[in-house]
């Protein structure tokens, strides 16, 4: 999940209950197709971490590419900036599967599933190389995103040095999730990292979501499907000292789980709002 250095952040809102320090929490909760019932710093920009993979998945599924066509598995990519080619850092990638496939071929569908379900950085860059940054930018445009951008692949140091980066907001992640058709939502529902938002729900509750973390950053965004209430979207982005990058023991992960649990408890009374 690790991608890059954490950003500078603003002050924590006093109502959040976080320790004092330079941190920011963003929350966006809404019934599908309705105005948000909770919007706390929804347009504050955060480094994307692995949530950028949702935009790559969306672009891939609307690209018209044959997702069942085998493609070479390699670790050499053109930089988004002028400069030498680059590769993903193996030690910063959680998923061994694509690395074991180096030098062989796998389908784009398999790679896209590894990108989401196991958060593979290598699979992400392979998918991005086939679909292209312009297609991902078009997805953000179709989602009516206001601030989010996917400017480069993971570990593209040359592009990062040139100021190209990957940014999200809680509101834009919510808009992006609403854009997705059933198939990519099913991929998101298979996410193996059942922490953050998923940890705040009763076991077995369906949630189509993606999380991402690195030191100083912890995000999770998804659609929750209660059996006894209408589905709702929830996106939480946190940047600050609570986020240590550990999926199990990270205090920020527990914070996101508590927020998720709180809205789960209110799932019957979430006001529908107005269409937007």
At 22 the three-state DSSP class reads strand
> Residue ranges per domain, the chain?
14-265
- CATH number for the segment(s) 14-265: 3.40.710.10
- What is the average pLDDT score of the chain? 91
Per-residue pLDDT of the chain (276 residues; tens, 9 = 90+): 444 433 322 222 222 333 345 799 999 999 998 999 999 999 999 999 999 999 999 999 999 999 999 999 999 999 999 889 999 999 999 899 999 999 999 999 999 999 999 999 999 999 999 999 999 999 999 999 999 999 999 999 999 999 999 999 999 999 999 999 999 999 999 999 999 999 999 999 999 999 999 999 999 999 999 999 999 999 999 999 999 887 778 999 999 999 999 999 999 999 754 333
Look at the chain and count its residues.
276
Q: What are phi and psi of 133, to 5 degrees?
A: -65, -35
pLDDT score at 112: 98
């Amino acid at each position: 999940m690790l991608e890059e250095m954490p950003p500078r952040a603003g002050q924590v809102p006093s109502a959040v209950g976080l320790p004092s320090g330079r941190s920011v929490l963003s929350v966006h909760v809404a019934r599908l197709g309705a105005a948000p019932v909770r919007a706390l710093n929804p347009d504050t920009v955060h480094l994307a971490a692995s949530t950028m993979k949702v935009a790559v998945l969306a672009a891939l599924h609307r690209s018209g590419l044959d997702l069942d066509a085998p493609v070479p598995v390699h670790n050499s990519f053109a930089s988004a900036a002028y400069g030498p080619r680059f590769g993903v850092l193996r030690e910063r990638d959680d998923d061994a599967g694509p690395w074991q496939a180096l030098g062989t071929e796998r389908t784009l569908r398999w790679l896209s599933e590894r990108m989401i379900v196991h958060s593979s950085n290598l699979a992400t860059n392979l998918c991005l190389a086939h679909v292209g940054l312009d297609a991902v930018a078009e997805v953000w445009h179709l989602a009516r995103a206001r601030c989010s951008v996917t400017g480069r692949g993971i570990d593209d140091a040359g592009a990062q040095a040139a100021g190209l980066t990957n940014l999200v907001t809680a509101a834009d992640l919510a808009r992006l999730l609403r854009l997705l058709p059933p198939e990519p939502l099913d991929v998101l529902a298979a996410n193996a990292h059942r922490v953050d938002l998923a940890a705040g729900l009763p076991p077995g509750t369906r949630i189509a979501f993606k999380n991402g973390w690195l030191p100083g950053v912890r995000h999770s965004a998804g659609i929750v499907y209660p059996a006894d209430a209408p589905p709702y979207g929830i996106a939480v982005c946190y940047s600050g000292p609570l986020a240590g990058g550990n999926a199990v023991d990270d205090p920020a992960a527990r914070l996101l789980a508590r927020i998720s649990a709180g809205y789960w408890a209110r799932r019957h009374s979430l006001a529908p709002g107005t269409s937007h």
